[in-house]
Structures are given as structure tokens and as C-alpha cells.
């Protein structure tokens, strides 16, 4: 993979292509992932809405850098848009940390209600202060443990193990609460880390385990579903501000349509991924979540009285549709 600085040489220096306005959209996933397919839908919708006056170029597979590097490139306007996990965005906006609290959402419907509501919009708006425009959320499912040496049936099965995580304070503390050691490793380096025993396991959703081929080196997948952190699509604030009001409307409408489409794709992709994992010899188990919830109760209490804790209270209040 090219370094982020070297990858910039792949991008045209100007903001126009043949008279069209140009939007560059980069991400780290492959072309079969629901995120990429949703971004293709974004491009199609924006082409239609703008009558082909705005062109979108998509750079998948980490061509232009890691997730963090892509966010930094967006901040300086070197690329227009990217997708980043809310877990990683904690390092840019602390409010994003609310989505890292373990067992925060009761269901996918509860999560959608929050993301599409006041809390979701409020958290997106905090990104303005770090030169990013929060455009919307993609579904990233629930994160569960996959290990190289055995299943995770209880939190004690994490004790003494090294688990790869994204760079999220709450996620790191969750692993430590279970008695493990958290290792923030770039996603592109994780296959080798699992293969070489640098880490004992990782945690992610089923489609990502498939597309990264981690099932080849981690044969035990335990659906404890400890965190349901969404993906966030962000745009360079400078790029957003450079668009006309009408162009901004088109871009947001295209993004909204893309998010709806991505959610439709996600559930099928997740179900298909579990089937494919089993076909490739992965042992899938569904542990009782009660011991995991109990293990993180004190961790969740540490957020009481904080901004993130206040947001979490509002999230929990939305569980019943209030």
C-alpha cells in the first residue's frame, strides 16, 4: 500500500474534471463490502441529482492510506470524503465516545432511532470543530470476538489474551475489564498479527472478518456483540464550504440515499458472512451476554456525570421510542 503522502500523487491537482466539480472519496475496504457498494450508490445518486455536474472518484482498498490517515487527509482538504469508524473518531471528537460504550443499544432499531435523531445529529455536528463535516452514518453491525486458540464463552476467556482493537479508550478499557490486553493495530496489518501470534484475537463484525480473510487464521468466532459502533461518513469541511448551497443539498441527499441503501445491504451481508464463515471451518458460538454486561457495569458507571455519560442517558431513553 502506498503511504498517504505518496498516494496524493494519484490525485489530480485541480478540483475539476472536464468542467465537472470533483469529489474524491477514499476508504480502506474492498469493492465487495457494503460500504463500498453504498458509496457507489452515493456516486450514482449525486450524478443524477446534479445532472452530471458533480463527479465522484472512489479510491477503495486503502489505496490512499489507513483510516486515520484518510481522516487527516480530509481535514486538510487533500481528499473530499472518507468513511471512518466512530471508534476511531473519538480521537477527533470526544462525543463520538458514546458509541463505544459496551451494550449501549438494545437493538438495531434502537440504534437507527438514535443515529437518525437529535443525538446522532448533535454528535455529527461536533466534527465541525476539527475541520470535518459529519454527513451521516453507515451500519457497522456489532463487534464480536474472533480468536485463534478457542472460543470466548465468558469474559474470563479473554483473561490473559491480547486482542486487537481500534484506538478507542472505551474499547481498550472494555478489553482490560475482561482481563485482556488491548493492542491497537492497523486493520491492514491484522492478518499477519493473527497469523504470527502477535495477538490472540480481534473483534469485528462478520462482513469485515470475511473480506479481510481473517477466518483463515482465526477459527473461533463468538457473537458476544459487545459494541455496536457505527461507521461515519465525513467530508472535508473546506470542501463542503466550497460547494454552493444547491450542491450541498445534492450531496446531502445523495448521502442520505446511500445510508438507506447501505443498511439494506448490511443485514444480508452479515447473514451471508456468517454462513460463509461456517463453510470455511469457523466455529461460531453465541455466548450468554449477561456475564459480559455484568462485567462492564462498573466501566459504564465511570461515564456518569460526564458529557458522554449524558449522551448515553439520552440514548438509553430512546430505547422505547420515547
For the stretch 275-306, pLDDT in tens is: 999 999 999 999 999 999 999 999 999 999 99
Question: How distant, in Å, are the alpha carbons of 96, 170, 187, 288, 291 from that of 311?
Answer: 10, 15, 29, 27, 25
Question: How distant, in Å, are the alpha carbons of 10, 15, 239 from that of 86?
Answer: 27, 28, 21
The pLDDT value given to residue 319: 86
What pTM did the predictor assign? 0.87
Q: Which one has a higher pLDDT value, 55 or 321? A: 55
CA-to-CA distance for 53 and 75, rounded, in angstroms? 24
Q: Which one has a higher pLDDT value, 167 or 110? A: 110
Question: Which residue is listed with cell 468513511?
Answer: 83
Going by C-beta distance under 8 Å and a sequence separation of 6 or more, which residues neighbour residue 178? 155, 156, 158, 159, 292, 295
- H-run or E-run covering 51: none
Task: Judge contact between 187 and 122, C-beta under 8 A.
Answer: no
The pLDDT value given to residue 19: 46
- Taking CB atoms within 8 Å and a gap of at least 24, the contacts of 37-41 are 37/261, 37/262, 37/265, 38/138, 38/258, 38/259, 38/261, 38/262, 38/265, 39/83, 39/258, 41/257, 41/258, 41/261, 41/262
pLDDT (tens digit, 9 = 90+) per residue, 91-147? 899 999 999 999 999 999 999 999 999 999 999 999 999 999 999 999 999 999 999
Fill in the DSSP letter of residue 270: H
pLDDT (tens digit, 9 = 90+) per residue, 71-85? 999 999 999 999 999
Mean pLDDT of 2-12: 50
Task: Judge contact between 181 and 163, C-beta under 8 A.
Answer: yes
**Whether residue 30 has pLDDT greater than 90:** no
The pLDDT value given to residue 17: 42
β-sheet with 201-204: strand ranges across:
181-184, 162-165, 201-204, 143-147, 220-227, 283-285
Confidence of residue 4 (pLDDT cuts 50, 70, 90): very low
Amino acid at each position: 500500500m502506498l503511504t498517504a503522502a505518496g498516494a496524493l500523487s494519484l490525485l489530480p491537482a485541480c478540483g475539476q474534471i472536464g468542467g465537472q466539480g470533483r469529489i474524491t472519496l477514499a476508504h480502506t475496504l474492498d469493492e465487495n463490502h457494503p460500504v463500498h457498494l453504498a458509496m457507489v450508490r452515493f456516486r450514482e445518486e449525486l450524478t443524477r441529482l446534479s445532472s452530471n455536474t458533480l463527479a465522484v472518484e472512489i479510491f477503495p482498498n486503502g489505496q490512499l492510506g489507513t483510516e486515520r490517515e484518510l481522516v487527516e487527509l480530509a481535514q486538510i482538504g487533500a481528499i473530499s470524503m472518507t468513511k471512518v469508524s466512530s471508534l476511531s473518531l473519538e480521537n477527533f471528537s470526544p462525543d463520538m465516545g458514546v458509541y463505544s460504550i459496551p451494550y449501549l443499544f438494545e437493538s438495531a432499531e434502537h440504534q437507527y432511532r438514535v443515529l437518525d435523531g437529535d443525538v446522532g445529529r448533535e454528535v455529527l455536528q461536533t466534527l465541525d470543530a476539527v475541520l470535518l463535516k459529519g454527513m451521516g452514518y453507515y451500519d457497522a453491525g456489532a463487534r464480536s470476538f474472533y480468536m485463534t486458540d478457542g472460543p470466548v464463552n465468558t469474559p474470563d476467556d479473554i483473561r490473559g489474551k491480547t486482542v486487537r482493537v481500534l484506538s478507542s479508550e472505551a474499547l481498550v478499557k472494555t478489553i482490560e475489564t475482561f482481563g485482556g490486553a488491548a493492542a491497537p493495530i492497523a486493520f491492514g496489518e491484522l492478518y499477519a498479527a493473527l497469523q504470527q501470534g502477535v495477538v490472540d484475537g480481534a473483534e469485528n463484525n462478520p462482513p469485515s472478518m470475511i473480506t479481510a480473510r481473517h477466518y483463515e487464521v482465526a477459527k473461533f468466532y463468538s457473537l458476544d456483540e459487545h459494541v455496536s459502533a457505527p461507521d461515519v461518513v465525513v467530508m472535508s469541511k473546506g470542501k463542503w464550504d466550497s460547494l454552493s448551497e444547491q450542491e450541498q443539498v445534492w450531496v446531502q441527499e445523495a448521502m442520505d440515499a446511500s445510508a438507506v441503501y447501505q443498511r439494506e445491504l448490511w443485514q444480508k451481508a452479515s447473514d451471508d458472512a456468517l454462513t460463509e464463515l461456517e463453510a470455511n471451518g469457523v466455529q461460531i458460538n453465541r455466548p450468554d451476554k449477561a456475564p459480559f454486561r455484568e462485567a462492564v457495569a462498573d466501566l459504564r458507571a465511570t461515564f456518569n456525570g460526564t458529557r458522554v455519560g449524558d449522551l448515553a442517558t439520552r440514548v438509553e431513553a430512546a430505547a422505547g421510542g420515547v
